[in-house]
């Protein structure tokens, strides 16, 4: 599954039907991501940064070439033009807010089919999407977390709320 955050907006979700490979990830970025982003102003899309984690499908040569062309000097990930500290998911709104919130909603009760799982994923995404102030808060706290990380020289820190 793929989701994104852009300002106070949730982008997606997009559910991959099969295992994620470099080819399926590249096809998603080339053919699906554009549609997912089309409701955002062109100026924002031209200035936005794209970040993904260090999953092997994200690191193929073709993938890096595509990102270099599509997001020149504006993508974060292994081998990307913008350095991102390794093993730093605690900094990203997707990891410290979105995935946990979505998982708690999706897995609140048992389900018995892949179709039910898919419905819950989209329902959880709609709930999150309908609360943009929570997304904004998570995005804004990234700056606080980054400052804390810099203060500790990249070491461990505990965020003070």
pLDDT digits (tens, 9 = 90+) for 99-120: 889 999 999 999 999 999 999 9
Of 65-74, 85-94, 106-115, least confident by mean pLDDT is 85-94
Domain positions in the chain are 2-151
- Using an 8 Å Cβ cutoff, are 51 and 75 in contact? yes
Strands 9-14 and 75-76, bridge-based pairing? unpaired
The CATH H-level (homologous superfamily) assignment of domain 2-151 is Ribonuclease H-like superfamily/Ribonuclease H (3.30.420.10)
pTM of the full structure? 0.81
Q: Which helix (H) or strand (E) holds 148?
A: helix 132-151
Burial of 33 by CB count in 10 Å (0-12 exposed, 13-18 middle, 19+ buried)? middle
């Amino acid at each position: 599954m793929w989701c994104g955050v852009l300002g106070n907006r949730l982008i997606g979700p997009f559910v991959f039907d099969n295992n994620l490979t470099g080819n399926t990830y590249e096809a998603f970025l080339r053919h699906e991501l554009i549609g997912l982003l089309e409701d955002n102003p062109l100026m924002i899309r031209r200035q936005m940064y794209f970040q993904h984690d260090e999953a092997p499908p994200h690191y193929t040569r073709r993938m890096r070439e595509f990102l270099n062309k599509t997001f020149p000097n504006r993508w974060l990930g292994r081998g990307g033009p913008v350095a991102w500290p390794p093993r730093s998911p605690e900094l990203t709104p997707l990891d410290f807010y979105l995935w946990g919130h979505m998982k708690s909603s999706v897995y609140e009760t048992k389900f018995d089919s892949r179709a039910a799982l898919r419905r819950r994923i989209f329902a959880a995404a709609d709930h999150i999407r309908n609360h943009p102030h929570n997304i904004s808060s998570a995005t804004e706290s990234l700056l606080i977390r980054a400052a804390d990380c810099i203060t500790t020289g990249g070491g461990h820190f505990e965020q003070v709320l």
